[in-house]
Amino acid sequence: MKLIGIFLILTVISGCASTDYKKNLEQATNCSELPKNTGFVALKNDKKIDFDIGGKKSNCININGKTKSFYASFKVEESANFLLINANQNVVMSGSSYFMPVLYAVSDKGTLKEVNYIAEMKTSKLIPVRYYTYHYDLRHVSGTKFLVSTDASKVGDIISFEYVNSYDLVSQNSADMPLSPGGVINVTPITKLSPDNIL
């Protein structure tokens, strides 16, 4: 049983190590000033969708004319009142990093307006993957199109990443790690907050 656990851990670590987000961003070209009109992934309420922001097929953008960033874009149903974004710790053999998402509402003209999260939760799985869950209130946000990127000016900054130990889900630790230009996230639009979708 221990050998299976070790194999799973090594598989997770080696799998995550295959994406060099920093290198991908350095090599990214033809970044737009506005998000592409096409490519907004349609999300259904209570259905979780994964995005690898900074992966091979990622788009890049110069948000507000600043440094280029990777992004993913999607649209939600009009009945979606809240949005949950899980952002995973990037686990690699040479060290971990963290993609801190920034959510923008996209207007009909393609302009961006940042949407601040209303809550942040720190979570661990029973394998060494830790993530933060961000909760957003969409009830006073106009439109149904959104874009997730990160603050390019903070990429490389060292943060104190706090997490709950996966072996007991109670003890808390923290580790210093740099902010990454990319990472794996999943997004879930929901109609109402409940204990089932908060935890």
Q: What is the pLDDT of residues 43-65, one digit of tens each?
A: 999 999 999 999 987 889 988 77
Q: Is 115 helix (H, G, I), strand (E, B) or coil?
A: strand
Rounded CA separation 113/152 (Å): 16
Count how many domains the chain has: 1
What's the pLDDT tens digit per position in 171-193? 788 889 999 999 999 999 999 98
Structural domain boundaries, residue 177? 2-198
Its pTM stands at 0.85
Rounded CA separation 29/24 (Å): 10
Return the DSSP state at 179: B
